[in-house]
Structure 1
């Protein structure tokens, strides 16, 4: 919401800071598992939220913050420590649990009932959570497989067969592959790129391959044939910063993704410098067959750089990026997908972007919150 309204509000607006503080607090409360250090950070965000609430209430007497949901901020840390999970509570802990307790009480031997009921309840809760997680996962996988199959024009059964094929050590995999083409004609016919860029792509690709794979003999005159197979999507596996489980992002690089032939070129977090957030937009994704018959995956990307432009109100941990140079890159440097939002109200809305660090819990933590 902030990228949409920040330029509509006055400069250094208290409302922007209030919304940002509340978003950071709610994101922390949405973590499925949370550490003591994260609870401390959550309390800091809650204190920031309280400070901005009081500041706005002082300026505008018509806005008061005494309502039921607001009280969650004050007892959420105790709730988390008591239950061990950052569930977004709408009531206090243990309210509305009488039915579950009554069912558990029917399975005790009437000696030390409280302890037995607590143990039975904990076991049921764990079993229900496991079953629910499996069901949700199965539904998400089925839905995801059907969506991918629809986009790439294949059956869901063939997508399942592809998923069950032997996996390599690589954390990425290209998908929706096309036919093999000569790199000179294929790159020049990439109509979604401007003509000036297309003109020298093959020469730059050969130079990139010579530098990246010095053991390969690639002539400098460009006379030998290099075949490439364009792909429309990329599967990138990563380890979640939330619970350290394996996750996968499906990134699109499709010049005619929508029914109206509108292109979709997704963005990705890339590993260029240590302890830095670097991003790129995928412009061309292909598997390259070298003269030695060796096949390597390559991506043409446009790197982003830190933008000079600033919004009227710069909120906490605000990342603003703008288009930079184009380069070839190996997918092994891709970390995971990223969601960038156009900087509405800037002079160059098509080339300046905000990083959406609240798109999910993993990105919230990766962005340094």
Structure 2
């Protein structure tokens, strides 16, 4: 777990076996990342691996914000699969699954149908009120406390409102705009942008790329060959992160991934992977080793990222859980235009002895990577698109 790849929003745990008490989000993050870490430790085709994977699928599907009938039917199948592997684990290890949260699987689908998705309910709201009430109670004389606590609560609420107004005014003054005019972010056509800019240098002086596990000595020649077909290179500027925007396939919102390319990010190397468009079947991944903006003699700029391609590979050892994908990282480097990059992807090293540079695809970081496929457009959706095209695109000739 200490060597597990880092990812935004996913808590990185170094000592999971010594955790005795923590919050639920930490346990949820451990659930998301535990399978690649234990699959080679347990015996081959161990039912515990399949049980954890079944619970991953059940838990991730249950937490989605949009639950049409198709997803509810898939959730019901995941629950049946989870119950099957719980029975197998109970027979082999004597594990007792008789506890309250386990019973939620039996009525979860019906609860979603009648009350809505699970994000509308939580046990966390109201927990902070107990601390506020205890603090107010300690300020009373412990006699006729109701009226005293009401006055203390009113005072605290007034102080909080005054503090919020002062903070908002200070923030507007720092931005140089004290009026109440709403501010809108600049919208661009690109689905990505660089961040953490470095010093602009010539390509000859850019140095040697040293991503994890590989060294590129002739970067200048590789970069020039990449853009020689279009323009001669003049100057390049490296960046340490990129913001990738994409549309969620879960609820169609606009989301953002932050991928990093940094030799020392909080004391550790950080070279993230990305999913990009290619002509090859299936999904194509690459681990980026640099993020570059090249300024050409014509004053035009191109943005690219050198990286190693990651192709699918069959794993012959260990336990292949449902949806398991193993990919091998190539030793050769190639350059990729940022226009082809879709979003970030989390791949963590597979501890397989004598198998080269293998990585597991972690599809549990968000609903868009689980299941790791794009939705299939049904015939009703296609007919609807044709009708809209006929109504709004074709001119009306009377």
Q: Name the SS for the 2:111 alignment partner.
A: helix
Say yes or no: does 1:210 pair with 2:228. Answer: yes
Q: Name the SS for the 1:281 alignment partner.
A: strand
Say yes or no: does 1:336 pair with 2:368. Answer: no
Q: 1:245 to 1:198 in 2, by over 3 A?
A: same
CA contact (8 A) 1:241 1:365 kept: no
Aligned residue number for residue 286 of structure 1: 292
Superposed, 1:143-222 pairs within 5 Å as 166-186=186-206, 188-192=207-211, 197-199=216-218, 201-211=219-229, 213=230, 216=231, 218=232
Aligned residue number for residue 241 of structure 1: 249
Coordinate RMSD, CA, aligned: 2.9
Aligned residue number for residue 270 of structure 1: 276
CA contact (8 A) 2:209 2:215 kept: no
Instruction: Supply the distance in 1 between the matched residues of 2:212 and 2:84 (Cα, whole angstroms).
Output: 49
Question: What is the CA distance between 1:191 and its match in structure 2?
Answer: 5.0
Aligned residue number for residue 329 of structure 2: 323
Superposed, 1:1-369 pairs within 5 Å as 1-60=34-93, 62-87=94-119, 166-186=186-206, 188-192=207-211, 197-199=216-218, 201-211=219-229, 213=230, 216=231, 218=232, 226-258=234-266, 260=267, 262-273=268-279, 276-324=282-330, 325-347=332-354, 351-367=357-373
CA contact (8 A) 1:227 1:288 kept: yes
Instruction: Supply the distance in 1 between the matched residues of 2:100 and 2:122 (Cα, whole angstroms).
Output: 8
1:138-184 deviations in Å (ceiling 9; x for gaps): xxxxxxxxxxxxxxxxxx979xxxx9663320001111212221112
Instruction: Supply the distance in 2 between the matched residues of 1:192 and 1:356 (Cα, whole angstroms).
Output: 21
Q: Name the SS for the 1:207 alignment partner.
A: helix
Instruction: Supply the distance in 2 between the matched residues of 1:2 and 1:295 (Cα, whole angstroms).
Output: 42
Q: 1:165 to 1:50 in 2, by over 3 A?
A: closer
Question: What is the CA distance between 1:45 and its match in structure 2?
Answer: 0.8
CA contact (8 A) 1:33 1:84 kept: no
Q: Name the SS for the 1:286 alignment partner.
A: strand
Question: What is the CA distance between 1:343 and its match in structure 2?
Answer: 1.1
Query: Which structure 1 residue ranges, 4+ long, deviate > 4 Å from structure 2?
Result: 87-91, 191-196
Question: What is the CA distance between 1:234 and its match in structure 2?
Answer: 0.5
Name the TM-score, length of structure 2 as normaliser. 0.65
In the alignment of these two chains, the number of paired residues is 286
